[in-house]
Amino acid sequence: MNSFRSVAKHPIISLIDSGTTLKELKQIHTQLLLNGILNEPHLLGHFVANVALNNPNNLDYSNQVLDQCDNPTLFALNSMIRAHSKSSTPQHSFRFYNTILQSNHYLSPDNYTFNFLVRTCAQLLARGTGPAVHCALIKHGFEHDPHVQSGLVFMYAELGCLSSCHKVFGEIPDPDLVSQTAMVSACAKCGDVGFARELFDLMPKRDHIAWNAMIAGYAQCGQSREALSLFHLMQMEGVRISEVSMVSVLSACTHLGALDQGRWAHAYIERNKLRMTVTLGTALIDMYAKCGNVNKAMEVFWGMKERNVYTWTSAMGGLAMNGFGDKCLELFSLMKQDDIPPNEVTFVSILRGCSVAGLVEEGREHFESMGKVYGIEPKLEHYGCMVDLYGRAGRLDEALNFINNMPIKPHSGAWGALLHACRMYKNMELGELASSKLVELEDKNHGAYVLLSNMYADSKNWDGVSCVRETMKARGVRKQPGCSVIEVGGEVHEFFAGDKSHPMYDEIEMKLAEISKRLRQAGYVVDTNPVLFDIEEEEKEDALSKHSEKVAIAFGLITSKEGVPIRIVKNLRVCWDCHEVTKKISEIFNREIIVRDRNRFHHFKGGDCSCKGYW
């Protein structure tokens, strides 16, 4: 008999809900004891279940009640497994499973037992325990239960075992909506969005969970256009849109730098009165910040009724990446006043804020406070931030000493930060060391080779340039093609270096020619040193003019209204010439140009850049 359907209920016990306080709970318990109601095992089980499942804060109380019961029912024990599987102590579920096994055949686990245990393993990310529970449920004959099968697919997805997901799903003769949705979610979560979409398209019926899983899968894999396209299809089919849907949509907008679509998503949330959860609000802040609209990000932040550490951290990170280091640190002070303890990611934002503001000593103090004050052990990213902090300030020797004294093996982030500092401050000796160390760790890291080659080119060391490029050729290292994305009128356009496939390319070339002419008239001289030196000077200039961000800027000047900022997202760091040219364009054409490259934001306005020449 099913352990959950066979339980008699009592009206007094049913009064217990999520709002019941501990004092009220004790009063109800006393009344039940006085009336002898809890002498009936099934009613005692009902009481324990209601206490445990309605309010996680009362879990200890339900544990104490159950401990006083000589022969707890399967329903009561399953309820405790279920309650703990959803709590902050999922590992305690196994205590009640062991009670079932040790009951001398008085009790035997059923499908609910294993369904909840499988969910426990998923929450614990228990790679060893998960397969063991799978074996146990096969032993007890529940491997063909549809709820258990769906739970197994979910569990293996959480454990990152996609092959096991496929194996479990393949053994389901007639998958229902739940198991199909679980498999779509699993494949999307594990990166197999192709198979997930095939399965999604074949589903005869799709609920909002399947749609959300597919959209989230696309967003997580960086296929943001597909995520937004599927979301529009979801709307057309009249599927219920929830806060979960909008978090994925905002993530896709963030990745693309699609501010117009992000604004539309925000308006959709407000128009449809979706609940502004902490997660959704944080996603909105992240979207606005990473699309370069810091004022709107902070407007959302201050308008939120509830904020957690992720909300504060997202806001601080947005301020730091957009060059507002001082404001980032001010926000951290307010966060401490609100008694919100920082986490590891918070300190990444703080250290980046110190770096862009040039606050070396303050950054060092914050780094030391991680362990001394907050008990947080610095991770590789924090060490990389410290190297960047020293390097940005021009204190290259201190940056190298910091790397040499790291308690863990220096990673590519640390050596990469030093290499970029060496490029900015023209320290060839240290640059060669940093580059060699970086290549030792990542021999296919094209950025390390290109940066060193550019350093040699800056110093007119053409033999060095040739050596680097021959090494790249011998090792099969290719420079990643530059790609810039710009959104105009809610539509996203991609441009690759040298690509002429855009339908407006003829107009773009004319605009590029106009830009070059006006730059020369303004006295700008192209720095062609970093370009291949075995081609004519005119060809070098032409190669530089076709860099993806310049093409995107030309397109933006053609298609957007005067006075509207041009926003671009680039997959690589902006090169030196593109950076200088964009400063000039912002002045000549009186346009604000916001570029998000792989490392940071550049707000170009009136001939200046927010990065102050360091990126």
User: Is residue 8's pLDDT more than 60?
Assistant: no
Query: How many Cβ atoms sit within 10 Å of the Cβ of residue 432?
Result: 16
Percentage of the residues of the chain whose pLDDT score is greater than 70: 94
Can you give the pLDDT at residue 319?
96
Average pLDDT over residues 3-11: 54
Can you give the pLDDT at residue 154?
92
DSSP class of 291: T
User: Is residue 429's pLDDT more than 50?
Assistant: yes
Type and span of the H or E element at 401: helix 396-404
| Sequence ranges of the domains in the chain | 206-306, 484-609
Q: pLDDT for 332-352, tens place per residue?
A: 999 999 999 999 999 999 999
Query: How many Cβ atoms sit within 10 Å of the Cβ of residue 114?
Result: 26
CB of 391 closer than 8 Å to CB of 418:
yes
Report d(CA 213, CA 200) in Å as an integer: 10
pLDDT confidence band for 63 (50 / 70 / 90): confident
Burial 451-465 (b: 16+ CB within 10 A, else e): bbbbbbbbeeeeebb
User: Is residue 546's pLDDT more than 80?
Assistant: no
The burial class, CB within 10 Å (0-12 / 13-18 / 19+), for 449 is buried
| Residue bearing tokens 């980032």 | 328
Can you give the pLDDT at residue 26?
81
DSSP class of 582: H
The burial class, CB within 10 Å (0-12 / 13-18 / 19+), for 587 is middle
Type and span of the H or E element at 491: strand 491-496
Can you give the pLDDT at residue 381?
95
pLDDT confidence band for 528 (50 / 70 / 90): low
Q: Smallest Cα–Cα separation from 214: which of 188, 237, 186, 245? A: 188
Least confident span in 36-50, 121-135, 526-540: 526-540
Can you give the pLDDT at residue 54?
75
Higher pLDDT, 508 or 4: 508
Can you give the pLDDT at residue 113?
95
Average pLDDT over residues 2-26: 66
**Predicted TM-score of the model (pTM):** 0.79
Question: For the chain, what is the mean pLDDT?
Answer: 88
Report d(CA 260, CA 241) in Å as an integer: 20
Give helix 428-441 / helix 396-404 axis angle, nearest 10°: 30
Reported residue count of the chain is: 615
User: Is residue 441's pLDDT more than 90?
Assistant: no
Can you give the pLDDT at residue 582?
94
List % helix, strand, coil for the chain (3-state, nearest 5). 65, 5, 30
Is the four-CA dihedral 567, 390, 606, 508 of positive or negative sign?
negative
Can you give the pLDDT at residue 3?
53
C-alpha distances in Å from residue 471, one per residue of 439, 466, 476, 481, 549 = 11, 8, 8, 19, 28
Query: What does the block give as tokens for 96?
Result: 């009640």
User: Is residue 424's pLDDT more than 50?
Assistant: yes
Q: pLDDT for 200-229, tens place per residue?
A: 999 988 989 999 999 999 998 889 999 999
Can you give the pLDDT at residue 534?
43
Pairing mode of beta strands 566-570, 483-488: antiparallel
Q: Hey, which residues does 492 pair with through a beta bridge?
A: 487
Least confident span in 28-42, 312-326, 434-448, 593-607: 28-42
Can you give the pLDDT at residue 9?
61
Report d(CA 332, CA 345) in Å as an integer: 12
Can you give the pLDDT at residue 572?
86
Can you give the pLDDT at residue 589?
94
- Domain range 206-306, its CATH number among 1.10.3430, 1.25.40, 2.40.50, 3.30.460: 1.25.40
pLDDT confidence band for 48 (50 / 70 / 90): confident
Distance of CA 405 to the CA centre of its chain: 31
Can you give the pLDDT at residue 539?
41
Can you give the pLDDT at residue 346?
97
C-alpha torsion 29→32→35→38, nearest 10: -120
Can you give the pLDDT at residue 24?
77
Query: What does the block give as tokens for 243?
Result: 């806060």
Q: pLDDT for 296-311, tens place per residue?
A: 999 999 999 999 999 9
Q: pLDDT for 232-260, tens place per residue?
A: 999 999 998 999 999 999 999 999 889 99
User: Is residue 289's pLDDT more than 50?
Assistant: yes
Q: pLDDT for 68-117, tens place per residue?
A: 787 888 988 998 899 889 888 899 999 999 999 998 767 899 999 999 99
Residue 52 identity (one-letter amino acid): A
